Each structure stands twice: as C-alpha cells, then as structure tokens.
C-alpha cells in the first residue's frame, strides 16, 4: 500500500500507537483459518462461536 497526500507519495514510517485489541479469529488474528486440530493443539476453545458477515 502506498500513501498519497495531495497526489504526492509520502514515505512510510512505523509509529507505535499503542496496543490494539484484535477480535479472536478475525483475519488479523493468528488463529484465523486454522483447522480444528490446529486449534486444539493451541489449546483453544472449540465452542467459541465465530460470527461472520
């Protein structure tokens, strides 16, 4: 992804903005897309409901 301001490309830089919560099993979660056995090996609760829109 490239950031543009007033049609000019702006250099990227990493900036710490704090800790942000990640919804469990969302596409940003490290559990996203894991199969049942993989979740078991990570000691995750398989009864957690996942709601997708």
User: CA–CA separation, 38 vs 40, rounded Å?
Assistant: 5
pTM over 0.75: no
Neighbours of 34 (CB within 10 A): 15
Q: Does residue 14 form part of some domain?
A: no
**Domain count for the chain:** 1
User: CA–CA separation, 38 vs 15, rounded Å?
Assistant: 33
What is residue 41's predicted lDDT score, i.e. its pLDDT? 92
Q: Does residue 28 form part of some domain?
A: yes
Q: Does residue 3 form part of some domain?
A: no
Give the range of the structural domain holding residue 23, as residue numbers without chain letter. Answer: 19-47
Q: What is the pLDDT along the chain (53 residues), one digit of tens a residue?
A: 788 889 888 887 788 888 888 887 788 888 899 998 998 898 888 776 666 55
Are 12 and 4 in contact, with CB atoms under 8 Å apart? no
What is residue 3's predicted lDDT score, i.e. its pLDDT? 82
Dihedral of CA atoms 24, 30, 36, 37 in degrees, nearest 10, equals -140
């Amino acid at each position: 992804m490239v950031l543009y301001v007033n049609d000019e490309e702006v250099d990227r830089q990493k900036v710490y903005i704090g800790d942000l919560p990640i919804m469990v099993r969302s596409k940003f979660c490290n559990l996203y897309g894991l199969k049942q056995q993989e979740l078991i090996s990570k000691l995750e609760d398989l009864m957690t409901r996942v709601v997708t829109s």
